[in-house]
Amino acid sequence: MKNYAPAAYRVLHGLFAVYKPPGVHWKLVRDTVETHLLRDLNSLRQPAARQEVRFLPGPTEENNHAELTLTAATVPALADHALVRGPNYTHLKVGAGHRLDVRSSGVFVLGVGHGNELLTDMYHAHLSKEYVVHGLFGKATDDFSPTGRLREKTTYEHITRDKLDRILAVIQGSNCKALLQFSGIDLKTQEAYDLAVKGLIRPMEKSAPVITRIRCLHFGLPEFILEIQCIHETQQYLRKVIHEIGLELKSSAVCTHVRRTRDGFFTLDDALIRTRWNLRNIHAAIRGCRPKVNANLLTGGTLKSTIDESKDETQVKLQSGSQNNKLESENVPEEKA
Residues labelled catalytic: 101
Answer for the pair 26, 108: CB distance below 8 angstroms, yes or no. yes
Output DSSP code: residue 310. Answer: H
**Cα–Cα distance for residue pair 146/140, rounded to 1 Å:** 8
**Cα–Cα distance for residue pair 177/172, rounded to 1 Å:** 9
**Cα–Cα distance for residue pair 210/202, rounded to 1 Å:** 9
Q: Do the strands 94-96 and 65-76 form a parallel or antiparallel pair, or are they unpaired?
A: unpaired
Angle at 133 between CA 130 and CA 134, to 5 degrees: 160
Element (H, E) at 213: strand 210-220
Q: Which residues on adjacent β-strands are paired with residue 267?
A: 262
Q: Do the strands 210-220 and 150-153 form a parallel or antiparallel pair, or are they unpaired?
A: unpaired
Answer for the pair 266, 109: CB distance below 8 angstroms, yes or no. yes
Angle at 13 between CA 8 and CA 14, to 5 degrees: 140
**How many other C-beta atoms are found inside a 10 Å radius of the C-beta of residue 151?**
12
Q: Do the strands 223-231 and 129-137 form a parallel or antiparallel pair, or are they unpaired?
A: antiparallel
**Cα–Cα distance for residue pair 292/100, rounded to 1 Å:** 22
List Cβ neighbours of 231 (8 Å cut-off, separation of 6 or more).
126, 127, 128, 129, 179, 202, 203, 207, 209, 210, 212
Element (H, E) at 261: strand 253-263
